Structure 1
Amino acid sequence: MTTTAPKPTVLFVCVHNAGRSQVAAAFLRELGGDQVEVRSAGSEPANQLNPTAAEAMAEMGIDITDQQPKVLTPDTVKTSDVVITMGCGDACPIFPGKRYEDWTLDDPAGQGLEAVRIIRDDIRARIETLLTSLSISSASGHDAPPEGTTHD
């Protein structure tokens, strides 16, 4: 009988947990499959998901409309292996032994679909890099953005 290392738990945190962190979590769930546990939360969660972020993800064949913004708790951070913040400042508690990354990303709130597509594609590229750093191979066939979108 072989034992495998426990799958890593990744937490995405932004202020409202309605756009960036939800998009990142969706890409990691889609591309990481069952090789990773994915969480997202916000320091000041919004009442609902950003509909433009949901539309941009739907273009990639990923439905996030069932996701709800969740409040960030110290326990959620404590029980995660990797914590990725996206513009939440000092709201995220720091615990020793965790891997922290801060991704500087524009907030999709109030932006049009074209701008949100750019943010979405940036997040996807970062997720692919994260998967590589966690030694996780992509589990999805979503290899290219739809026509009309660009990668920088």
Structure 2
Amino acid sequence: MSTTPERVPQVVFACVRNGGRSVIARLLAEHYAQGRVTALSAGTQPGDHIHAEVANVLGQLGLDTSHEHPKHLTTEMIATSDLAITLGCGEECPYVPGVTYRDWPVDDPAGQDDTTVRRIIADLDTRVRQLLLELAPELKLPPSVVGAA
């Protein structure tokens, strides 16, 4: 029997402002992963705050954004991750050899109404849940927060 703890995979979600899509994905991953996956979020041109419409709808779903602040995406963040999920930053995201990149074409929730933001969150919810089962197959996912709202 091994005495070393099992390595926890890390994923970084990256978008431009780090005020919407990447924050949604990180919070969903953190909520569902139960410590089995580490999730980071950052932006290539971080804004000043989390988008109010995103914070509002996430709050309605029971996800707290009060500790979220836009962060600059660094090469180090990507290099320490197993997977980089890009959400609209495309060519601007730093490339690190050996890290797997995936692009998720997801609409930007900035300035959108609650119905549109909920649709975007539902899209990311499905993607994040599938990703977590891939990264941690033994994970027993709790019910979707989108279905609970």
Using structure 2 for the length normalisation, give the TM-score. Answer: 0.91
Give distance in 1, aligned partners of 2:21 and 2:140: 20
Instruction: Return the alpha-carbon distance in structure 2 between the equivalents of residues 30 and 123 of structure 1.
Output: 13
2:93 aligns with: 92
Give the C-alpha shift of residue 143 in structure 1: 5.4
State the shift of 1:145 in Å: 2.0
Tell me how far 1:31 sits from its aligned partner. Answer: 0.1
The amino acid across from 2:59 in the alignment is: A
Report if aligned partners of 2:14, 2:84 keep a CA contact under 8 Å in 1: yes
Q: Percent same amino acid among aligned pairs?
A: 36
**Separation in 2 of the partners of 1:144 and 1:112?**
16
The one-letter amino acid of 2:50's match is L
Q: Residue 112 of structure 2 corresponds to which residue in structure 1?
A: 111
Q: 1:49 to 1:138 in 2, by over 3 A?
A: farther
Are 1:50 and 2:51 counterparts?
yes
- 2:80 counterpart residue number: 79
Give the counterpart letter for 1:66 in structure 2: H
Shift of 1:142: 4.1
Q: Who is 2:147 aligned against? A: 145
TM superposition shift of 1:58: 1.4
Provide Cα deviations, 1:48-87, integer angstroms capped at 9, x if missing partner. 0011111111122111122000001111111111100000
Across the aligned residues of Structure 1 and Structure 2, the Cα RMSD in angstroms comes to: 1.6
Where do 5+ consecutive residues of structure 2 fail to align?
none
Which segments of 5 or more consecutive residues in structure 1 lack a partner in the other structure? 148-152
What is the distance in 2 between the residues matched to 1:53 and 1:144?
14
1:75-117 per-residue CA deviation (whole Å, 9 max, x = no partner) reads 1111111100000021111122211110001001111111000
Q: Residue 139 of structure 1: CA displacement?
A: 4.9
Q: TM-score, normalised by structure 1?
A: 0.90
Structure-2 residue corresponding to 1:102 = 103
Alignment pair present for 1:36 and 2:37: yes
- Aligned counterpart, 1:135: 136
Matched, 1:18 2:42: no
The 3-state SS of whatever aligns with 2:35 is helix
CA offset at residue 122 of structure 1? Answer: 0.3
